[in-house]
Amino acid sequence: MIKGIIFDMDGLMIDTEKLLVKFWRQSASEYGFNMTDEDVFGIRSMSHKLAVPHLKNIFGESFDYYTIRQKRIELMNNYIEKNGIEIKKGLFELLDYLRENNYRIAVATATPYERAENYLHQINAFDYFDKIIGGNMIENGKPAPDIYLTASDEIGLKPSECIALEDSPNGIKSAYSAGCKPVMIPDLTPPDDEIKPMLYGICESLDQVIQILNLQGEKKYMSSSSEIFEIPKYYYFHSGNNYSGSKGNFNYKIITSDKIKCLVWHGKLCSMKAVIENEKEFEKSEEGFASLIKWLEEQFMILNL
């Protein structure tokens, strides 16, 4: 049973990851280093302990991480002071839902507490959270599990009772190794083959997380004869229409809502709002189900990661 939600911050709640990329590159350039987008992607949400050797391995021992980082912070702070902070889509819809439904809510961010507090006050989100854990409050930062273990403990829950919302691979690794249920809302990069198996779900925006919470526990498809076909995870169908029809031994109906998108995970159709009904004998075989999935993918262009 999900009782708590733990949020990352940069790139998840606020649209600052693109600024981190821009100003890491600018700062590094001022010190004579040609940093690429991919170099910055590699240290997103990464603890200083790991980021320092990672970047020295790329640029050599002369790469002064802390000096370049401090310049990046100055550049980014100046930009935000002039332009403000952009909020990611669906943030307040989700926060309001969580408050109304009595979920415990925390932040687990690699950003130091003082700066995280400042950003959250700027966007009027600070008061939603029961606890805020900054990167300077724990011994080992992401991708180590410490920050999620601390955050779940601070809100009085087991990690397994918490969904962790993340946009970056290092954050997903941290949440997964802590025992949380990671849900990815990709920002700059999609999940790769290493990250996909760790995910409890994936959404395009924060408001879609509400659908996961509304239907948590509904991991079964029921036939018209009330037989059950067990499905391992939640997935989302493309929004806008309800589809129905037949394929082989299956008569099916796919029910969607306006805010749900879809995906197929590891070749399995897993939708929170899908019902497959069968007037004949329900075919439970992997081959039969896989055949239906393949056909649905072709017909409705379901995103297959």
Q: Point out which residues pair with 107 in neighbouring strands.
A: 7, 132
Burial class (CB in 10 A: 0-12, 13-18, 19+), 68: buried
**Span 188-229, pLDDT tens digits:** 888 888 998 888 888 889 998 998 888 664 432 222 222 222
Q: Are 45 and 142 in contact (CB under 8 A)?
A: yes
- From the list 190, 174, 65, the residue with the least C-alpha distance to 182 is 174
Asked whether residue 115 falls in the same domain as residue 193, the answer is yes
Residue 305 lies in a domain: no
**Span 67-125, pLDDT tens digits:** 999 999 999 999 999 999 999 999 999 999 999 999 999 999 999 999 999 999 999 99
On the question of pLDDT at 256 being above 60, the answer is: no
Which pTM was predicted? 0.68
**Span 54-66, pLDDT tens digits:** 999 999 999 999 9
Give, in order, the Cα–Cα distances in Å from 116 to each of 131, 135, 230.
12, 9, 41
Q: Total structural domains in the chain?
A: 3
- From the list 210, 234, 211, 202, the residue with the least C-alpha distance to 221 is 234
H/E stretch holding 147? helix 146-154
Structural domain span for residue 128: 4-13+86-212
Burial class (CB in 10 A: 0-12, 13-18, 19+), 73: middle
pLDDT confidence of 298, banded at 50, 70, 90? low
Asked whether residue 148 falls in the same domain as residue 8, the answer is yes
Asked whether residue 159 falls in the same domain as residue 204, the answer is yes
Asked whether residue 144 falls in the same domain as residue 208, the answer is yes
Asked whether residue 22 falls in the same domain as residue 9, the answer is no
Asked whether residue 166 falls in the same domain as residue 238, the answer is no
